[in-house]
Amino acid sequence: PSSAMTANVLMVAGGGGGGGVNAGGGGAGGLVFSSGETISGSKTIVVGNGGLGGEGYNNGFDEVGEKGNDTSCLTYVASGGGGGGTQDADGSTQMNGGSGGGNCGYQTNKNGGSSTQNTYNGKGFGNAGGNGVNDLNGGGGGGAGSPGTNATGNGGTAGTGGDGKNYSTTFTTTYGENGWFAGGGGGASQTNTGTIGSGGQGGGGDGKIETGTNDVAPSGLPHTGGGGGGAG
């Protein structure tokens, strides 16, 4: 701006990719909202892409969803969402992010990823991902407004993605998912007797039950920071 202005600033990082096998959902990108920011002069804004989803049965780290990328503006950084955990790779570090990714229950550590988002004294938001259970159901990715839920037992339910935050009264329903941003991805179920986890409000992708060899779980909704769904 040619002169100082006061603005409401909303920043959302890229969401994490869902895991590839019996997997957890990707964590939402971290969210920063600051009202009444004074802005003047030229500023650099970096918008982070979402992370790629994990691949199936590679017996390697590629099964874990990729972390999303950071978004930065002014003095703030929104941290990319954590990737979803998976059956054949321990993604404990990669699952941490702005909101944590959900985990698969196959690993010794079944806990979802943690939030690494700076809170900036109440301006930054992120939550942990949900836990996996046994080797069939994945936890939901965390959202900016609430954590991902844990999966339940055999033939049970994968975890749902945590809801994001609603800024429709500030920015209208034109942006995000009807004004919501940064929802976590839903967890997956390998067995058709189980139930997938739904994505959180704010662009989180739903998990997917394994039905064939070329299954693709839903992505997070573009331009929301939502995490990707986990694949069965």
Q: Mean per-residue pLDDT for 56-77?
A: 89
Chain Cα centroid distance, residue 182: 7
Which of 146, 29, 10, 155 has the alpha carbon at shortest distance from 96? 29
Say what the pLDDT of residue 60 is.
Answer: 65
User: Looking at the chain, which runs of residues are DSSP E strands?
Assistant: 5-12, 31-39, 71-73, 76-78, 124-125, 165-166, 180-181
CA distance 167 to 178: 9
What is the pTM (predicted TM-score) of this model?
Answer: 0.95
Which of 188-203 are b and which e, b meaning 16 or more Cβ less than 10 Å from the residue's Cβ? Answer: bbbeeebbbbbbbbbb
Neighbours of 129 (CB within 10 A): 46
What is the percentage of the chain residues whose pLDDT exceeds 70? 96
pLDDT tens by residue, 208-221: 987 766 778 899 99
pLDDT tens by residue, 131-160: 998 878 899 999 999 999 999 977 689 999
Which of 195, 87, 85 has the alpha carbon at shortest distance from 142? 85
Residue 104 near residue 21 (C-beta atoms within 8 A)? yes
